[in-house]
């Protein structure tokens, strides 16, 4: 049972929007690509764990703090007698271990996922002790990308290679487990301690005026969108979306990018541009939001 579904982080959502509407610097672009690749790997792993038929509780994308130290968890699977802790990696290319260090094939030292796993495991054990539920942890680095190869892999380490992922999932699925209300309480306690806003946020500075305006295709992210009756049609990939759905999608984008900016008919009209009729925008906002204020001071929440 999925107790906490996988969702895109706020940083990834914002960078995705900004990547479409402005030119990101090389570093910001790299940060965006890394977050995107990591999320895509978690999506693949999540698509496998959500099919588990054993008695378990699955929590995805967690951020905790214990003893003034924060740590992230990609996937946690609570079983009767143990917890599977999964550090999901979507790394592509050839890598190797040498002298207990992790290198890419061009012999550049990289951040070792095993060290990250050890740190995470230790902090999770401390958190479980604090909660009065010292259940054993089985931690694994799960390499999900089929284009990943690891040479000189250390023996007896907690590494799952791409060719082993299906067997690993089957191992979890066949682990005897019968959960009780204690496990449910543990999951609820963990969820209550989850930190929603990440302290590791690294976002570029941006302003409303510098961002490109217009409706963006939901599929290919193109600005080549035009209106045809009650639909928005992408001139690049042909994707069709109802105007109301597209407007609401862009209101959500606007609210995330500029949380302090009031949502008004004029602002949404300017942001979307393709919908020329302000009255049409106004009707959509009235149907989906609460009207605040009076006359020219009206906005929506």
Q: What is the pLDDT of residues 61-109, one digit of tens each?
A: 999 999 999 999 999 999 999 999 999 999 999 999 998 899 999 999 9
pTM, two decimal places:
0.91
Cα gap 110→284, rounded to integer Å: 50
Identify the band that residue 298 occupies on the pLDDT scale cut at 50, 70 and 90: confident
Whether residue 199 is predicted with pLDDT greater than 80 in this model: the reply is: no
For position 100, what pLDDT does the model report? 87
Query: Which has the closest alpha carbon to 6: 55, 62, 52, 56?
Result: 62
Count the neighbouring beta carbons within 10 Å of the beta carbon of residue 13.
16
Q: Mean pLDDT score of the chain, rounded to an integer?
A: 94
Query: Collapsing DSSP states into helix, strand and coil, what is residue 171?
Result: helix
pLDDT confidence of residue 294: 74
* 163 class by beta-carbon count within 10 Å (0-12 exposed, 13-18 middle, 19+ buried): exposed
Average pLDDT over residues 187-200: 91
Residue % of the chain over a pLDDT of 90: 89
pLDDT at residue 295, rounded to an integer: 65
Burial of 132: CB neighbours in 10 Å, binned 0-12, 13-18, 19+: exposed
Phi, psi of 281 (to 5 degrees): -60, -45
CA distance 196 to 193: 9
């Amino acid at each position: 049972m999925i107790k906490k579904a996988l969702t895109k982080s706020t940083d990834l959502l914002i960078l995705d929007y900004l990547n479409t509407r402005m030119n990101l610097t090389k570093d910001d672009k790299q940060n965006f690509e890394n977050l995107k690749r990591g999320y895509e790997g978690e999506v693949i792993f999540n698509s496998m764990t959500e099919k588990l038929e054993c008695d378990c509780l699955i929590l995805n994308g967690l951020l905790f703090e214990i003893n003034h130290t924060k740590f992230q968890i990609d996937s946690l699977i609570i079983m009767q007698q143990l917890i599977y802790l999964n550090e999901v990696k979507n790394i592509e290319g050839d890598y190797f271990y040498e002298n207990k260090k992790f290198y890419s094939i061009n012999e550049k030292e990289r951040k070792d996922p095993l060290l990250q796993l050890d740190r995470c495991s230790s902090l999770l054990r401390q958190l479980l002790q604090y909660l009065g539920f010292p259940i054993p942890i089985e931690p694994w680095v799960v390499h999900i990308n089929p284009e990943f190869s690891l040479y000189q892999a250390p023996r007896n380490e907690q590494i799952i290679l791409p060719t082993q992922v299906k067997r690993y999932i089957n191992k979890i699925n066949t682990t005897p487990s019968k959960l009780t209300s204690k496990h449910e309480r543990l999951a609820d306690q963990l969820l209550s301690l989850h930190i929603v806003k990440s302290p590791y946020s690294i976002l570029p500075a941006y302003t409303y005026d510098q961002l490109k305006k217009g409706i963006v295709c939901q599929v290919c992210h193109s600005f080549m969108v035009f209106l045809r009756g009650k639909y928005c049609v992408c001139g690049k990939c042909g994707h069709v979306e109802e105007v109301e759905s597209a407007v609401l999608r862009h209101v959500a984008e606007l609210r995330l990018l500029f949380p302090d900016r009031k949502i008004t008919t004029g602002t949404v009209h300017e942001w979307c541009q393709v919908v020329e009729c302000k009255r049409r925008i106004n009707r959509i906002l009235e149907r989906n939001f609460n009207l605040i204020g009076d006359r020219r001071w009206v906005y929506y929440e």
